[in-house]
Structure 1
Amino acid sequence: MTKQITRQQLSAALVERHGQERQQHLYTASVGIAGLGGLGSNIAVQLTRLGIGYLILADCDRVEISNLNRQSYRLCDIGRPKPEALTEQLLQINPYLCYEPHFLKLTPQNIPEIFAGCNIICEAFDDPEQKAMLTETVLQRLPQAKLIVCSGMAGAGSANAITTSRRLNRFYLCGDGTADIAADGSLLAPRVSVCAAHAATMVMRLALGFTTP
């Protein structure tokens, strides 16, 4: 089916929904996603549907059966590297955007190189230590990038508690700020997806020139 749809046709469809000027801003955005689980995989799908021009996708995990309750993967993806499986899905949504998958563990040493060209970076890790490491590295070594961090989407609480706030000049936080997987013990698709949508919305707004949530 994708071979029957040209780049011009798909672009025209996006422009019809988003407007020419807005779509051009979205096309020129370069966004990095660190972690491709429940947050990152859903963020990537939404940004692809927006027509974000360049996505850098990084994760060191393979798809497991336990991921299927909230992550954008399928039974046929089990065992595959997440960047590879996700990129395949994104190409089926829009094959004319640029995707750069990295199947590796992100470290303070490789983050500056991998995300060097990004205007915006989304932190989408589950592990608090990884969150802190990526946040510190981006804020200290990638001064051109705005950072969106997700924290607080565990459990079955109200989706209305999930918000986006601007904490520093180029640091944004999505989540309820309190719901912790270690304390609650559960990650359910609706709340995770809501938080991912907050992050994707903030990416959209930053790409369009807005600085407030």
Structure 2
Amino acid sequence: MISKDELDNALAERHGKRLQQKFQKVNVAICGLGGLGSNVAVALARAGIRHLHLIDFDRVDVTNFNRQQYFVNQLGEYKTLSLSKTLSKIYPYIDVKIDTVKITKDNIAELLKDDFIICEALDDAENKAMFVEEVLKEFPQKYLVSASGMAGKKSLNYIKTQKIRENFYLCGDRISGLEDGDGLFAPRVMAAAAHEAMTIINIIDEL
């Protein structure tokens, strides 16, 4: 198998040794491992980010395959376990911490205490709002990257990244109402996830 130095040197040739060294140090939490979170995790692992914290309580379901980074032979497994195995195939030297739990007001502070960058990738709008409110309240010094609006069939160009306040970024088209026939399509979900992943990379670059 390729050595860690060989792999990291190959990555450093793509984006520079200084950034690759930063990728080895920072802890990134990905909260929710559906269409957004699973794609964010894969993008960050391919970049060589070493310390990922995966949080989700759900299992892989047949309805996930159209937009999420899971495979048929993983059906029924916890997403935390399935995705951690996939990431280790992409970047064998990745350090993945998993918490197979539902995120609530009561456990957010404990779950995220060791993570410097927090990626919100939850499905439900109410849970998203609760999560963002609690993270901003509990961890004003940490970075939060969230997403809102990636469903439908509109152009990918509607998906943007906005800096909402210091240390808080929001990705997506911010459109919640959908017309009949609209849904969650892989290209738009992956585009929003790419915005989140790229925002995280840029945050690390600026540290």
Q: So what's the TM-score if we normalise by structure 1?
A: 0.93
Q: Which ranges of structure 2 fall in alignment gaps of 5 or more residues?
A: none
Q: Describe the SS at the equivalent of 2:11.
A: helix
Q: Does 2:188 align with 1:197?
A: no
Runs of 4+ in structure 1 displaced over 4 angstroms?
179-185
Give, in angstroms, the shift of residue 78 of structure 1. 0.6
**Partner in structure 2 of residue 136 of structure 1:** 133
| CA displacement, residues 25-45 of structure 1 (integer Å, 9 cap, x when unaligned) | 122121111100000000000
Q: Describe the SS at the equivalent of 1:160.
A: helix
Contact 2:153–2:182 (Cα < 8 Å) also in 1 = no
Counting matched residue pairs gives 207
Q: Does 2:29 align with 1:28?
A: no
**Aligned partners of 1:59 and 1:206: how far apart in 2?**
24
Q: In the alignment, which of 26, 31, 34 is matched to residue 37 of structure 1?
A: 34
Task: Name the CA shift for 1:180/1:70 in 2 (closer, same or farther; >3 Å).
Answer: farther
Q: So what's the TM-score if we normalise by structure 2?
A: 0.96
Give, in angstroms, the shift of residue 15 of structure 1. 1.1
Q: Quick one: which amino acid aligns to residue 123 of structure 1?
A: E
**Partner in structure 1 of residue 5 of structure 2:** 8
**Aligned partners of 2:141 and 2:164: how far apart in 1?**
17
Q: In the alignment, which of 102, 107, 127 is matched to residue 105 of structure 1?
A: 102
Q: Quick one: which amino acid aligns to residue 119 of structure 1?
A: F
Task: Name the CA shift for 1:51/1:62 in 2 (closer, same or farther; >3 Å).
Answer: same
**Aligned partners of 1:94 and 1:55: how far apart in 2?**
12
Contact 1:58–1:102 (Cα < 8 Å) also in 2 = yes
- The RMSD of aligned alpha carbons is 1.5
**Aligned partners of 1:180 and 1:146: how far apart in 2?**
28
Task: Name the CA shift for 1:80/1:180 in 2 (closer, same or farther; >3 Å).
Answer: farther
**Aligned partners of 1:183 and 1:34: how far apart in 2?**
29
**Aligned partners of 2:70 and 2:109: how far apart in 1?**
28
